[in-house]
Structure 1
Amino acid sequence: MKKCLFTAFLIILSALCAVGGQAASPSANDVSPGNISSTSYILIDAASGLVLCEKNADRKAYPASTTKILTGALALEKGELDQMMTATAAAAADIGPDGMNIGLKSGEKLSMQDLLNATLIYSANDAANVLAENLAATRQDFIDMMNAKAKELGAANTHFTNASGIHDAEHYTTARDLSLMARYAMTLPEFRKIVTKSSYTMSKTNGHEARQLRTVNKFLKETSDYFTRVDGIKSGFTSPAGWDLVSAASNDSGMQLIAVVLGDHSEKEVDADSKALLEFGFKSYSVQTLADVGQYVQNISISGAEPDSAAVVAETKLSAVLPNDQGKWDIKKNIQLNSDIKAPVKKGDVLGTLDFVVGGASLGKVNLVSDRDIGAKVVAYTTFGTKTENTAPKLQESVTPAQPSAGKDVQQAVICARTGIAILVILFAVLIINPGKRAKYPKRRYKIRY
């Protein structure tokens, strides 16, 4: 028995080490994407937000038309695609020096869907203005909502003064903040759908015939041996800002990365830098399993049960983008158990959570569940009235607990009944027959005469 218990202990210890192995991302100082012309960039995992590499990611920069990422995301939050909107003279005119536009006219009516596609695909400043004016009481109110949303997403070093990205000294952001806004926008299905389009056909309006718009984001056509498709999302340019590009790409394993490159000197340069960043990410990182379904995590105490502890396992599988070089993994596991866990507990009951954290950022979280049914203690009384604690069957050393047999329960009941009857008979005999009297009056012996 001792040998079996020792073997079980070694198995549990091995499983704990398997889950508890280190796993995470290195800091930006540990890796380098090679020759990047831009002096401000960042590369993140779209699923977790984990930073894979960065340079001057918190330095203030002008976003130009990458501003429209948040304009479009906020429009999808506040409006409906079939909502009709009206262009004002101010919205049509306020496009900035040489600003992109679709020539909207005062009083022209368009659907939000058309305006959103014109904003994100063709980068039309007038379309962005019409969205802002029709989704808030005033255009400034919409801009205020953009700033509030940026802060909500953690973009603490961002301030917008317009919805289109027209240059303004007080209209600024950072590479890190843009990655946060882009990551959020890419969680919206309609946004993802729009930013991958190479063209869009506008509906006929009271001011224009139907017309086709082609994307200004040439990076959508980019190919690579390391990623299978480009998923968008937005380019931008003004003379003070230089060439900016926020891009996303995926590979066959479902890994998606987001790159932000700011302030390059040409469109060709910003596209090359973005490709180099993304390829570095796909070459150096891959999807790794942090926890698998039913994987042992640890034993926990359970009040009112016998035994008073049980194993918890991962309810679901969890994977994350991590370095291929496992020597750079550095992960922390935060286990949060429910307070005052008491028996009975059923197999599959959620008893806590396991969060995998790197540098303060969560890679993901899984529920911790019981791997078996745990019975509660039951108070019972013996034949003599002595109070005992009867419990559910003890947990076996294997994962599946042994179940009590109905036949054994009946046999035990019969044995107890017979034992009780035998004890009562003995007590009765002792009370009725007094051996003391037998000793006092011995039998007389009679002599038989013939």
Structure 2
Amino acid sequence: MFGYIIPQMGRNEQMKFIRLLTAAILAVLTAALTALPAMAEGFTFNWDRGDEIYDGGLITAETDSGGPHCKSLFMLNIDTDTVVYTLNPDDPLPMASMTKIMTYIIAYENIPNIENTEITVPQAVADDLEGSGSSLAGVQVGEKLTGYQLLNLLMIPSGNDAAVTLMKYVDSQYASGQLVPPDAPDPEDPGAGEEDGQAVTAAGDYVVPEGGMTDYTGISYFVQLMNEKAEELGCKNTHFTNPHGLHNENHYTSARDMGRITQYAMKLPYFMDIVGEQDYSKEPTNVDPDGTWVSNTNRMILPFEDDYGNAYWYSYANGIKTGSHDQAGYCLAASATTFGYTYIVIAMGNMEGYERGVHEEMLDCRTLFRWAFTSLGKKTIASQGDIMSSVKLEYAYQKDELLLAASENVSVMLPDSVEQSSIVVTVDKPESVQAPIRKGEVIGTATLSYANEVIATVPVVATESVSRSDLIAGWEQGRKLLSSPWFVAIMAAIGALVVVYLILVVFYRRKQKQLKRVKKFRDM
């Protein structure tokens, strides 16, 4: 058809038609490639197991409901940094109060002596949260609390008021000059910082929208730090606009990114102690003479049923943070430790359970924990000194090959059924190496894969020291020089010049003979 249509067009019309046709074909191919399912990362897990059922419509500690119930899941073994299960791990989704994991990080790292620093709750906390329907920890305006108390009220009952209080304190320290960013311009240099400037200035008056403040971008230095930290941790699908997690279109993360954030927070002082507590009692304060008792929102660490008779308790669970609102559904960053292993699961987007008030994200986490602890184990897939490959050796006496070995032990989490023979080793190495070589010198990298997925990499090193033979080196270098394309080309050029020279000499001599004959003829 195109063979008939195109010849009937003018040249400009033909070019335009071809461009449009090419664009359409590329669009179709792009759509087709995008629609292809991505290769799953981690190990295969069969959710549809017969022993996991509802028990009379309720959830008990002994039975689960199958799954998965969440839009996105990411499971990581902390001990070996092995991703063991994923489901849409890079989809950006609302994170709700899991936000507070990052809030903890920024508060702890930017409030000196946070254990004893006294913070007075400003009026702005109540103003910013008015009408938001927030999860609150009972923090009151004018109340004096230590930073450590606020961290507990932030993480255990998921207090949005504690989150905003911490943010306001850091912002006030920044505005007053008591908190100086590491990359701040030198105050003695008048021109420093003029080109880039600071993204945040001292917070001035702003209008709080109905339903509470959800976007502090450009207002809060604390929120700027949250985004900078996310970038530092390698988060690709994360952006923060507030410290509490109230819904905003520009406030989101992915399960993988939240895994990175959680893994980092777990290394900070007090974090795991706080998130593992079933409850917290705030001591009496200047405006709260009786003190306050609050319970953890993470039912996986509470050994009793909820108001509906459902039990989500898991004996090995030890944290970390819940999250929920209408746009996010139920979310959870969960951790569990036993048998010498620690796993985290990030579960996001349990929408149906949220509508029914059933924490199916906790069921997903519990199911994954049980599977991992009973079916996975740490396997040493390469030991230091194991021969991984060899490489051609040059300039050595009576030796033309060098063995390469793993530089260190490599252990990863794998299903118990996996045999060593199932591990595929691929070595990235040069075509050859030249003596001298030192034992232990890094020569390349070995990549270890299982089921078409990279599970580890390890440097490969020389297994012995090899000295250089100057005689062999000179011979080899001379041979390579004589056989190199450049040398051949130069010699060919010289040969051509010699030939041309000889031809010219012959012609010259013939000319000279002819001139002599002419001269002799004239002299007669």
Q: Within 2, Cα distance between the matches of 1:33 and 1:93?
A: 46
1:18 is matched with: none
Structure 1 position 32 matched with structure 2 position 50:
no
Q: Out of 59, 64, 73, which is 2:105 matched to?
A: 73
2:128 is matched with: 94
% same residue:
27
Q: Within 1, Cα distance between the matches of 2:329 and 2:319?
A: 19
- Contact 2:126–2:141 (CA under 8 A) maintained in structure 1: yes
Q: Deviation of residue 89 (structure 1)? A: 1.2
2:139 is matched with: 104
Q: Out of 245, 252, 261, which is 2:332 matched to?
A: 245
Task: Give the 5 Å matches for 1:258-297.
Answer: 258-263=345-350, 264-265=353-354, 266-297=357-388
Q: Within 2, Cα distance between the matches of 1:256 and 1:105?
A: 37
**What CA deviation, in whole Å up to 9, does each residue of 1:171-190 have, x standing for no partner?**
33343433333233334354
1:216 is matched with: 297
Q: Within 2, Cα distance between the matches of 1:349 and 1:181?
A: 35
Question: What SS does structure 1 have at the residue aligned with 2:341?
Answer: coil
Q: What RMSD, in angstroms, separates the aligned Cα atoms of the two structures?
A: 4.0
Structure 1 position 144 matched with structure 2 position 224:
yes
Structure number with greater CO (CA < 8 Å, separation at least 6) is 1
Q: Deviation of residue 367 (structure 1)? A: 4.0
Structure 1 position 197 matched with structure 2 position 274:
no
Task: Show structure 1 runs of 5+ residues with no match.
Answer: 1-24, 380-386, 389-450
- Contact 1:120–1:194 (CA under 8 A) maintained in structure 2: yes
Question: What SS does structure 2 have at the residue aligned with 1:250?
Answer: strand
Change over 3 Å in CA distance of 1:305–1:65 after alignment to 2: same
Q: Which amino acid aligns with 2:106?
A: L
Q: Within 2, Cα distance between the matches of 1:340 and 1:36?
A: 53
Q: Deviation of residue 366 (structure 1)? A: 3.5
Q: Out of 355, 377, 402, which is 1:310 matched to?
A: 402
1:186 is matched with: 266
Q: Deviation of residue 311 (structure 1)? A: 2.5
Q: Deviation of residue 291 (structure 1)? A: 1.1
2:93 is matched with: 61
Question: What SS does structure 2 have at the residue aligned with 1:234?
Answer: strand
Structure 1 position 129 matched with structure 2 position 161:
no
Q: Within 2, Cα distance between the matches of 1:120 and 1:246?
A: 12
Q: Within 2, Cα distance between the matches of 1:376 and 1:318?
A: 32
Q: Within 1, Cα distance between the matches of 2:423 and 2:463?
A: 28
Q: Within 2, Cα distance between the matches of 1:44 and 1:199?
A: 26
Change over 3 Å in CA distance of 1:220–1:60 after alignment to 2: same
Q: Within 2, Cα distance between the matches of 1:289 and 1:26?
A: 23
Change over 3 Å in CA distance of 1:359–1:109 after alignment to 2: farther
Q: Which amino acid aligns with 1:72?
A: Y
Q: Deviation of residue 120 (structure 1)? A: 1.3
TM-score, structure 2 normalization: 0.57
Question: What SS does structure 2 have at the residue aligned with 1:321?
Answer: strand
Structure 1 position 343 matched with structure 2 position 374:
no
- Contact 1:253–1:287 (CA under 8 A) maintained in structure 2: no
- Contact 2:101–2:261 (CA under 8 A) maintained in structure 1: yes
Q: Within 2, Cα distance between the matches of 1:284 and 1:377?
A: 54
Larger radius of gyration: 1
Q: Within 1, Cα distance between the matches of 2:125 and 2:324?
A: 20
- Contact 1:228–1:251 (CA under 8 A) maintained in structure 2: no
1:394 is matched with: none
Change over 3 Å in CA distance of 1:348–1:238 after alignment to 2: same
Q: Deviation of residue 236 (structure 1)? A: 1.6
- Contact 1:245–1:271 (CA under 8 A) maintained in structure 2: yes
Task: Give the 5 Å matches for 1:325-404.
Answer: 325-326=417-418, 333=426, 335=428, 342-343=435-436, 345=438, 347-356=439-448, 363-377=455-469
Q: Deviation of residue 78 (structure 1)? A: 3.0
Q: Deviation of residue 148 (structure 1)? A: 3.4
Q: Within 2, Cα distance between the matches of 1:84 and 1:374?
A: 65
- Contact 2:118–2:147 (CA under 8 A) maintained in structure 1: yes
Q: Within 1, Cα distance between the matches of 2:67 and 2:316?
A: 21
Question: What SS does structure 2 have at the residue aligned with 1:326?
Answer: coil
2:413 is matched with: 321
Q: Deviation of residue 211 (structure 1)? A: 4.8
Q: Which amino acid aligns with 1:185?
A: A
Change over 3 Å in CA distance of 1:28–1:314 after alignment to 2: closer
Q: Deviation of residue 305 (structure 1)? A: 4.2
Q: Out of 296, 320, 341, which is 1:254 matched to?
A: 341
Q: Deviation of residue 123 (structure 1)? A: 0.9
Change over 3 Å in CA distance of 1:214–1:221 after alignment to 2: closer
Q: Which amino acid aligns with 1:46?
A: N
Task: Show structure 2 runs of 5+ residues with no match.
Answer: 1-38, 49-65, 175-202, 204-215, 305-310, 476-524
Change over 3 Å in CA distance of 1:146–1:314 after alignment to 2: same
Q: Deviation of residue 103 (structure 1)? A: 3.0
Q: Deviation of residue 365 (structure 1)? A: 4.1
Q: Out of 241, 254, 257, which is 1:161 matched to?
A: 241
Q: Within 2, Cα distance between the matches of 1:188 and 1:355?
A: 32
Question: What SS does structure 1 have at the residue aligned with 2:385?
Answer: coil
Change over 3 Å in CA distance of 1:251–1:129 after alignment to 2: same
- Contact 2:389–2:403 (CA under 8 A) maintained in structure 1: yes
Q: Deviation of residue 363 (structure 1)? A: 4.0
Change over 3 Å in CA distance of 1:211–1:352 after alignment to 2: farther
Change over 3 Å in CA distance of 1:302–1:186 after alignment to 2: farther
Q: Which amino acid aligns with 2:390?
A: N
TM-score, structure 1 normalization: 0.65
Change over 3 Å in CA distance of 1:206–1:174 after alignment to 2: same
Q: Within 2, Cα distance between the matches of 1:88 and 1:57?
A: 38
